[in-house]
Amino acid sequence: MASMGELQAEIQFLRREIQVLKDIEAIKQLKGRYFRSIDCKLWDELADCFAEDAVTGYLNGREHYEGRDAIMKYLKSNMDMPVLTMHQGHQPEITITGETTAVGTWALGDYIITLKNKGIQCAAFYHDEYVKIDGRWKIKSTGYDLVYREMWDRNETKSLKILDRMHQPSSWEGL
């Protein structure tokens, strides 16, 4: 039979194991919110995903920005218009490295329909760092290395029709 002290130590151990599982799940949901906010153009919700001192290295590190404000300015300059985007993340490999730190890798598949009806498609791998601030996980650094990125003119496909779109050109001013 175990002693009280042994049971208490055991419970403490299980609590830490559960915390790791909860942290992994919370980070997956953070990244889900990040991708969803981009595609739905929910800029405030997206900004909330980043730590204030976050840095990026998108496009093989070419798109490097420092600080949440600079990152948001960059992201909005590319997407705060009726461009249609799909960013989907897969196969998270998250490692909790401390009580408030974690790293993770994600596969990315994205597809963009530009205002001029170009298609841009890529596959890539994200490499992220996360930090827990006041009990909530945030993106501390993020970026991706491309497997490939390609572009084509969607007008070439004569029969191609968009049947539904979330972001209507007519609802954007100044185009």
Is there binding between residue 4 and a copy of itself (CB under 8 A)? yes
Is there binding between residue 8 and a copy of itself (CB under 8 A)? yes
Find the angle CA(173)-CA(45)-CA(39) to the nearest 5 degrees: 60
The number of angstroms, rounded, from the C-alpha of 117 to the middle of its chain's C-alpha atoms is: 24
Is there binding between residue 103 and a copy of itself (CB under 8 A)? no
Minimum Å gap between C-beta 69 and a copy of itself is: 25
Contact 123, 147 (CB under 8 A): yes
Minimum Å gap between C-beta 96 and a copy of itself is: 11
**Piece in contact with a copy of itself (CB under 8 A), picked from 46-54, 68-76, 92-100, 135-143:** 92-100
Phi, psi (rounded to 5 degrees) for 15: -60, -40
Residues 144-163 that bind a copy of itself (CB under 8 A): 145-153, 156-163
Distance CA 6, CA 10 (A): 6
Residue 132, both tokens: 């827990």
Minimum Å gap between C-beta 19 and a copy of itself is: 9
* Alpha helix segments (H runs only) across 53-97: 68-79
Residues 6+ apart with CB under 8 A from 117: 153, 154, 155
Distance CA 14, CA 61 (A): 39
Residues 15-74 that bind a copy of itself (CB under 8 A): 15, 17-18, 21-22, 24-25, 28-29, 31-33, 35-36, 39-40, 59-60
Is there binding between residue 115 and a copy of itself (CB under 8 A)? no
Phi, psi (rounded to 5 degrees) for 123: -125, 140
Minimum Å gap between C-beta 26 and a copy of itself is: 10
Q: Which residues bind a copy of itself (CB under 8 A)?
A: 1-2, 4-5, 7-8, 10-11, 14-15, 17-18, 21-22, 24-25, 28-29, 31-33, 35-36, 39-40, 59-60, 84-86, 88-94, 105, 107, 109, 111, 113, 120, 122-123, 125, 145-153, 156-166
